[in-house]
Amino acid sequence: FLSLVAEFCFGFFVILILGNFWFLAVLYLLWLYLDWGTPCTGGRRSHWVRSWTVWKYFREYFPIHLIKTSELNPNHNYLLGFHPHGVLVAGAFGNFCTDPPFKNLFPGLTPYLHIMPIWFGCPFFREYIMSAGMVSASKESVSHVLSNKGGGHASVIVIGGAEESLNAHPGSLTLNILKRKGFIKMALKHGAHLVPVFSFGENELFKQVANPKGSWLRNVQEKLQKIMGFALPLFHARGVFQYSFGFIPYRQPIHTVVGSPIPVKQNLNPTTEEIDQLHALYLQKLKKLFEEHKSNYGIPAHKSLIFE
């Protein structure tokens, strides 16, 4: 969905340049230059955009649910680790970039969904995604959000990143997380409490072409991901008037479960050992969250998370 909107915005910008409105394109480029750093300094959210009626229908289509398991004190800042990436990341968008799901369950907290910086280079599209509460996933951006002295900020990071989308097959429980420790270091530096979040149903929205590790397709996808910064999963789902083939996601319920916070004491210069210890604790809490709730959402008792 975001890709389609980005293409539309870019196309509109090209029309301005090629048409009789090139001066508007020049003015926008000037604005883009002056406003370039905004995605790294908290963005520019709009309650009006986040409350559009279309988002209500978007959430009801699947439907998307946000489940609260513990209170989050708004006097603290939090780093929410979102799992899994899936193809669409629908749970993250529906719950953290639209009102009122998160706002109602966690009053006093403002969520910021961190996404790849490349998206903020697209004309006009950057204004839209910032309005929804999305900001850059750069270290500078995460630090800005978690540095709020009064607390009340929640950085939402899809830990597995674009690479994990290549594992987004129905029934897959593989998470790319063993080597991802940057978010742990960031939480320690800012004393932000860690919160594991698991979105049940995220991998069920699309069927992806078989791409096991070592296959020629997976090798090509991984090479392209390293070059471009984002992955290209080959997926399909349903059409508008038929269910056999198309690119509209299946109507599968998504239950995004927000776990209990892991208290983190600020440490401006954490050692490798301290980072590894907190990372291991985070994995333990994430697995516990999954095990406690998997039976509620159709996951067989014998299936567990796989960390890579």
The 10s digit of each residue's pLDDT in 117-142 is: 988 988 888 999 999 999 999 999 99
Give the count of alpha carbons within 13 A of 133, CB side only: 26
More confident residue, 1 or 230: 230
Percent of the chain with pLDDT over 70: 96
pLDDT at 261 over 90: yes
Reduced to 3 states (helix: H, G, I; strand: E, B; else coil), residue 47 is: helix
pLDDT at 181 over 60: yes
pTM for the whole thing? 0.93
Reduced to 3 states (helix: H, G, I; strand: E, B; else coil), residue 127 is: helix
Residue 6 banded pLDDT, cuts 50, 70, 90: low
Dist. CA 187–CA 136, nearest whole Å? 17
Q: What is the pLDDT of residue 52?
A: 95
Reduced to 3 states (helix: H, G, I; strand: E, B; else coil), residue 141 is: helix
Beta-strand pair 153-158/78-83: parallel
- pLDDT tens string 79-113: 999 999 999 899 999 999 999 999 999 999 999 99
Reduced to 3 states (helix: H, G, I; strand: E, B; else coil), residue 259 is: coil
- What number of other Cβ atoms are within 10 A of residue 199's Cβ? 28
Q: What is the pLDDT of residue 224?
A: 86
Domain 40-307: give its CATH architecture: 3-Layer(aba) Sandwich (3.40)
- What number of other Cβ atoms are within 10 A of residue 163's Cβ? 17
Report which secondary-structure segment, H or E, holds 134: strand 134-136
Q: What is the pLDDT of residue 3?
A: 59
Give the count of alpha carbons within 13 A of 237, CB side only: 17
- pLDDT tens string 133-179: 999 999 999 999 999 999 999 999 999 998 999 999 999 999 999 99
Dist. CA 161–CA 82, nearest whole Å? 10
Phi, psi angle pair for 63, to nearest 5°: -90, 165
Beta-strand pair 254-258/64-68: parallel
Write the CB contacts of 273 (distance below 8 Å, at least 6 apart in sequence): none
For the chain, the domains span 40-307
Q: What is the pLDDT of residue 149?
A: 93
Measure Cα distances from 75 to 64, 80, 177, 241, 245 in Å: 28, 16, 28, 48, 48
